[in-house]
Structure 1
Amino acid sequence: MTATEILRLDSVDFVRESRQILTDINLTVHAGEHWALIGPNGAGKSTILSMCGAEKHPTRGFVHVLGHQLGRVEIRKLRESIGHVNPRHPLQSALTVRQVVLTGATGTTELMNRWEAAPDILARAEYLIEMLGLKELDSATWPTMSQGERGRTLIARALLPDPPLLLLDEPSTGLDVAAREQFLETLDHLHRSQADLATVLVTHHLEELPETTTHAVLIKEGRVLTSGPAHDVLTTELVTESFNYPIQIEYRDRRWQARADRMLNWQLLEA
Structure 2
Amino acid sequence: MPAAFELTNVSVERSGKALLDDVTWTVAEGERWVVLGPNGAGKTTLLQVIGATMHPTRGTVRILGEKLGEVVVSELRTRIGHTSTKVADRIPPAESVQDAVLSAAHAVSGRWQEEYDEEDLARAQQMMGEWGVSALAGRTFGTLSEGERKRVLIARALMTDPELLLLDEPGAGLDLGAREDLLASLEVLAHADDSPVLVMVSHHVEEIPVGFTHVLLMRDGKVVAQGPLDTTLTADNLGTTFGQRIQLDREGGRFAARRAAYGRRANRSPETGETA
User: Shorter-chain TM-score: which interval?
Assistant: over 0.9
**Structure 1 residue 102 and structure 2 residue 75: aligned?**
no
Alpha-carbon offset, residue 266 of structure 1: 7.3
Partner Cα separation in structure 2 for residue 192 and residue 30 of structure 1: 16
Q: Which residue of 2 aligns with 1:207?
A: 206
Alpha-carbon offset, residue 264 of structure 1: 7.1
Partner Cα separation in structure 1 for residue 50 and residue 15 of structure 2: 21
Partner Cα separation in structure 1 for residue 10 and residue 235 of structure 2: 27
Q: Which residue of 1 aligns with 2:148?
A: 149
State the Cα deviation string for residues 125-154 of structure 1 (Å, max 9, x = none): 111111111222233221221111111111
State the Cα deviation string for residues 144-190 of structure 1 (Å, max 9, x = none): 21111111111110011100100011111111110011111111112
Alpha carbons 1:170, 1:202 under 8 Å: kept: yes
Q: Which stretches in structure 1 are left out of the alignment for 5+ residues? A: none
Partner Cα separation in structure 2 for residue 79 and residue 226 of structure 1: 28
Partner-residue secondary structure (3-state), 2:151? helix
Q: Which stretches in structure 2 are left out of the alignment for 5+ residues? A: 267-276
Within the candidate set 77, 82, 86, 1:79 is matched to: 77
State the Cα deviation string for residues 212-248 of structure 1 (Å, max 9, x = none): 1110011122111110001111110110011111111
Alpha carbons 1:34, 1:199 under 8 Å: kept: yes
TM-score, normalised relative to structure 1: 0.92
| Count of aligned residue pairs for this structure pair | 264
Partner-residue secondary structure (3-state), 1:22? strand
Alpha carbons 1:218, 1:242 under 8 Å: kept: yes
Alpha carbons 1:103, 1:109 under 8 Å: kept: yes
Q: Which residue of 1 aligns with 2:269?
A: none
Q: Which residue of 2 aligns with 1:63?
A: 61
Partner Cα separation in structure 2 for residue 84 and residue 264 of structure 1: 45
Q: Which residue of 1 aligns with 2:215?
A: 216
TM-score, normalised relative to structure 2: 0.91
Alpha-carbon offset, residue 263 of structure 1: 2.9
The one-letter code sitting in structure 2 at the alignment partner of 1:187 is: L
